[in-house]
Amino acid sequence: MTQNRTAIVTGAASDAGLGYAAARLLAQDVMTVYITDIDGNAVMKRAEELSANGCKVVAAQQDVTDESAWNALISRVKEETGRIDALVNNAGIAVLRMMDDLTEESWDRQIDINMKSVYMGCRAVLPMMKAQESGSIVNLSSVAGMIGIPGCTAYSASKAGVRVMSKSIAMEVAAQNIRVNTVHPGMIWTDMQKVAIKDNPEQYDIITQGIPMKRMGKPDDIAQMVLFLVSDRSTYITGSEFVVDGGMTAQ
Ligand SMILES: NC(=O)c1ccc[n+]([C@@H]2O[C@H](COP(=O)([O-])OP(=O)(O)OC[C@H]3O[C@@H](n4cnc5c(N)ncnc54)[C@H](O)[C@@H]3O)[C@@H](O)[C@H]2O)c1
């Protein structure tokens, strides 16, 4: 139970997304959860839905690539709750382009939103976590941060960066009882996947046939791992990577 603790979950505006699923489980575990997203209206709606079910959830509009937005968020959480026990760096986009079409502009956008944002988020919460001498940071990487996939050059680079950056940060703060881990989802049925296969619906069957469990994952499959890493069930786990992919990368 994570009662009386505070968490921040980024990229939580999509009702079918991983951020919202994680926020819901953390809030049901009696945490106060700040959910943020670049889409301010949608994230407000998600907070209303969860609050209507008795959860303590607060919404904030935030671009995760904007350092001043991070500072404003941390000041607000500090003032309102006095602590930050968990940060889930979940916001992300998928620029899926083969090398011939991968422009410098789209490369920069991918790296900024998926990787630079994680550096910014960690930097923003660490002073409070150090003062508390406790905290858990969960960074969303991907199986694409571990294996090569055609069309994933920029996405893979961003997610591999998140994977190893998290280990380095974990080494810096382990002695202060702050844990940093990564979660590596396989193919999870969210808007990100729906957009990716929109123009090629036959891809759905091809993809699921290639997964040993013969299905895409559900957002809750990932949210359960996030809850575990935030909770006291994982107090000796840091600098580690957790693959949740229905066996996809075990082949
Ligand atoms: N769905 C999958 O199969 C899958 C697999 C591996 C990893 N992931 C990772 O999990 C995370 C969540 O993915 P999802 O499938 O729920 O995606 P999603 O597209 O459903 O949700 C991502 C959210 O991030 C928000 N966002 C985008 N740019 C932002 C910015 N600059 N600032 C703040 N918010 C921003 C979007 O508005 C959206 O609400 C991502 O980091 C993604 O790379 C997803």
What residue type is assigned to position 167 of the chain?
A: K
* Percent above pLDDT 90 for the chain: 92
Domain of residue 39 covers 6-188+218-245
Per-residue confidence band for 2, with pLDDT thresholds at 50, 70 and 90:
low
Average pLDDT over residues 161-165: 98
Q: Which residues contact 115 (CB under 8 A, 6 or more apart)?
A: 157, 158, 159, 161, 162, 165
Mean pLDDT of the chain: 96
Asked whether the CA dihedral 14, 16, 21, 24 is positive or negative, the reply is: positive
99 alpha carbon – ligand 1 mean position (Å):
22
> Which range among 27-36, 150-159, 170-179, 204-213 shows the weakest confidence by mean pLDDT?
204-213
CA–CA dist 42, 30 (Å, integer): 23
* pLDDT above 60 (res 74): yes
Pick the catalytic residue from 119, 155, 204, 236. Answer: 155
Domain membership flag for residue 205:
no
Q: What radius of gyration, in Å, describes the C-alpha atoms of the chain? A: 17
Q: Is any atom of ligand 1 closer than 6 Å to the C-beta of 139?
A: no
Ligand 1, closest atom to CA 188?
A: 3
Domain membership flag for residue 197:
no
pLDDT at 185: 98
CA–CA dist 241, 142 (Å, integer): 10
- CATH number of the domain enclosing 152: 3.40.50.720
Residue 19: name the closest of 203, 183, 231 by CA.
Answer: 183
Q: What is the pLDDT of residues 13-48, one digit of tens each?
A: 999 999 999 999 999 999 999 999 999 999 999 999
Question: What global pTM score does this model have?
Answer: 0.98
Residue, of 122 and 200, whose pLDDT is higher = 122
Domain membership flag for residue 60:
yes
Domain membership flag for residue 250:
no
CA–CA dist 3, 76 (Å, integer): 20
CA–CA dist 211, 251 (Å, integer): 9
Per-residue confidence band for 187, with pLDDT thresholds at 50, 70 and 90:
very high
Read off the tokens for 198.
Answer: 């929109």
CA–CA dist 11, 52 (Å, integer): 20
Ligand 1, closest atom to CA 39?
A: 37
Told to judge if 155 belongs to the known catalytic residues of this protein, a careful annotator would answer yes
Ligand 1, closest atom to CA 159?
A: 43
Strand locations in 158-203, DSSP E?
Answer: 178-185
Chain-centroid distance, C-alpha 206: 26
CA–CA dist 224, 229 (Å, integer): 9
* pLDDT above 80 (res 199): no
Count of the separate structural domains present in the chain: 1
pLDDT at 203: 82
* pLDDT above 60 (res 1): no
Q: Is any atom of ligand 1 closer than 6 Å to the C-beta of 89?
A: no
> Atom 30 of ligand 1 has which residue's CA nearest to it?
63
